[in-house]
Structure 1
């Protein structure tokens, strides 16, 4: 990890919930995402982490991302992602761009042609 200051990279301030876990552990911890950029995020929560700890984050509409804890202050900590993400995806409503597969949609009955019967 380098000591380069990445705070000049644009960040979105937002409030989302996410899960974090340490690799090799099935325990997931809920955290609040306070800001998010292509290269990292600030999280807030009660999970105990150490600087340099490898961590995985499950972000809405993005999935699990690997990163490393870059800094810690009180109950907030910064995570530097190993690979860049598109932070706008996390802001989009859940399921945007997804459509119901055709085989799940109900069959459409053809409208009868011709005169209607009186009942």
Structure 2
């Protein structure tokens, strides 16, 4: 079994996160790292959190990357849904020179228009 080196970069202080954002961020990172371990054949993984108007989550690996016929599985779909339920966004793309880059933006203020968010 290959070892995955995970590096985490976070600001020295984060603003108080709404509970739904906290849970979504945790689950998105958890699923992303799980996918990397299971499928990417990566040696390294970088998890980065940035906070401004949104909580930006970046997860990048140096693995095999997305195939030409890549289809979203349950894990990718759930990550996208978690971000979008909060009024955020989710992007998955090839990283350079290899691997995959996931970027999710989660709003730091509660979106009053959302309904029926999953927990």
Q: Give me the TM-score of the superposition, normalised by structure 2.
A: 0.30
| Greater helix fraction, Structure 1 or Structure 2 | 2
Q: Give me the TM-score of the superposition, normalised by structure 1.
A: 0.30
| Greater strand fraction, Structure 1 or Structure 2 | 1
